[in-house]
Structure 1
């Protein structure tokens, strides 16, 4: 179905915008890994589907993502790494109001399977402009700049 890692990565974003948890899960290998922005680690297709279903019902009901940058690195003809930068608009906050735009760097490791490229690993990281790292102190966990 998908001839490259880029094609399956773009399908991930399309299905995300359709809020299609089942469709997203179908893009992943059965034993795939997904690490979300807060470090939750889903270790198989079923867990990835369940987490996205929850997110679309509770957090991202009105949200949309847009790829702003994409690069593909072909490790072998059958293994591609895809890095993306994307924006997310329309997230529902804990108070029910729409939150501000987020920017993420999402990395997908893909491989060729019998039916085409599939995702074997995904890491989602929020980009925090102006920060070098995070720190934990008396004020809690927060981005920090050493500049």
Structure 2
């Protein structure tokens, strides 16, 4: 039997439903917000090309990285490109990521999701999404001669 998930009746509902699915740790619900051939790019550039891969990646994440995390929607902005296509930007906050290595208590993360959504029938679906971490005080990233990655500010 297939689960029935909430439909986004307006573009701005997509981020709220994403957060709801995240907090339930329900990868199938989260993936249901996307079209079958949707694209999803995460904060480190991992790129998934369909709903099934998006679901599998988030199921892994809930099991291994974000099992006790809290994701909160802070702000949403919609820009309509036409009556059936919109870009939805959503600022979020993540806390309680699973510890890893010498990081015993991961710090709070701020991010911005960009959802490209399309009206299909009577609801809106995400056709592409990208998640970007907000690094306070930084302008860009740099990799040093040893291959170490860090965020930097050229103005300071």
CA distance in 1 between partners of 2:99 and 2:29 (Å) = 25
Moved more, 58-67 or 3-12: 3-12
Q: By how many angstroms is 1:115 displaced?
A: 4.5
Q: Which residue of 1 aligns with 2:93?
A: 87
Task: Identify the match of residue 146 of structure 1 among 131, 146, 154.
Answer: 154
Q: Does 1:26 align with 2:29?
A: no
Structure 2 runs not aligned, ≥5 long: 1-6
Q: Corresponding residue for 1:119?
A: 126
Higher relative contact order (CA 8 A, sep 6+): 1
Consecutive aligned runs of 4 or more in structure 1 exceeding 4 Å deviation:
none
Does 1:137 pair with 2:144? Answer: yes
2:75 paired with 1:76: no
Q: Deviations over 1:109-144 (max 9, x none)?
A: 000112510000010000000111001113511101
Which residue, 46, 49, 74 being the options, matches 1:40?
A: 46
Q: Shift in Å at residue 67 of structure 1?
A: 1.1
Instruction: Report the Cα distance in structure 1 between the residues aligned to 2:104 and 2:25, rounded to whole angstroms.
Output: 19
TM-score, structure 2 as length reference: 0.90
**Matched residue pairs, number?**
147
Q: CA deviation at 1:4?
A: 1.3
Q: Say yes or no: does 1:109 pair with 2:88.
A: no
Q: Which moved more, 1:39-48 or 1:112-121?
A: 112-121
TM-score, structure 1 length as denominator?
A: 0.95
Deviations 1:60-113 (A, max 9, x none): 010011111110111111111100111001101213834110000110000011
1:60 alignment partner, SS class: coil
Contact 1:4-1:80 at 8 Å conserved across structures: no
- Following the alignment from structure 2 to structure 1, what is the Cα–Cα distance between the partners of residues 54 and 24? 16
Q: Which of 3, 7, 15 is the equivalent residue of 2:9?
A: 3
| Unmatched 5+ stretches in structure 1 | none
Alignment of 1:59 with 2:65, yes or no, is yes
Report if aligned partners of 2:11, 2:86 keep a CA contact under 8 Å in 1. yes
Q: Distance in 2 between matches of 1:115 and 1:51?
A: 28
